[in-house]
Amino acid sequence: MQYGMVDMCIVGADRVTRCGDVVNKIGTYLKALAATANHLPFYVALPASTLDMQMRDAVKEVEIETRSEDEVLYMHGIDDVGAINRIRIAPRQTKAANYAFDITPAHLVTGLITERGICAASEATITQMFDDLI
């Protein structure tokens, strides 16, 4: 992005609130921040079934799934004799958080690409376009 090799960013979503907050795999928020910092449009592509019209504020209302800390504290590799071994890559006393999802706030989203067209990531435009889902 910083070298001008990206025109826009498009990601998917696991859930989108009626206000346009996006819940998706970890790293989506960082892509939105990078796109914003580089003055690039950041779009989210989703089917209407992904909209959660009952939810307004993902940061306050979504409990983010955590996975085993072992996924980030250990790795598997092939040693010098060709055997596959699991090794710890952090000191024993190290604890880790391993979140599966993050939340991208609506103000970082240029637009939502849906089967009904593209709309702004705002409650007014989402509820207008998807009033039958309310």
What is the arithmetic mean of pLDDT over 21-42?
A: 97
Q: What percent of the chain has pLDDT over 90?
A: 98
Number of H helices, E strands in the chain: 4, 10
- Whether residue 126 contacts residue 19, with contact meaning beta carbons closer than 8 Å, is answered with yes
- Whether residue 61 contacts residue 18, with contact meaning beta carbons closer than 8 Å, is answered with no
Q: Is 14 a catalytic residue?
A: yes
pLDDT of residue 16: 98
Q: What is the average pLDDT score of the chain?
A: 96
Q: Is the pLDDT of residue 134 over 90?
A: no
Q: What percent of the chain has pLDDT over 70?
A: 100
pLDDT of residue 107: 98
pLDDT of residue 132: 92
Catalytic option among 14, 79, 80, 131: 14
The model's pTM: 0.87
Residue whose C-alpha is closest to residue 57's, from 89, 27, 94, 20? 20
* Domains of the chain with CATH codes: 9-65+100-133 (3.40.50.10470), 69-98 (no CATH)
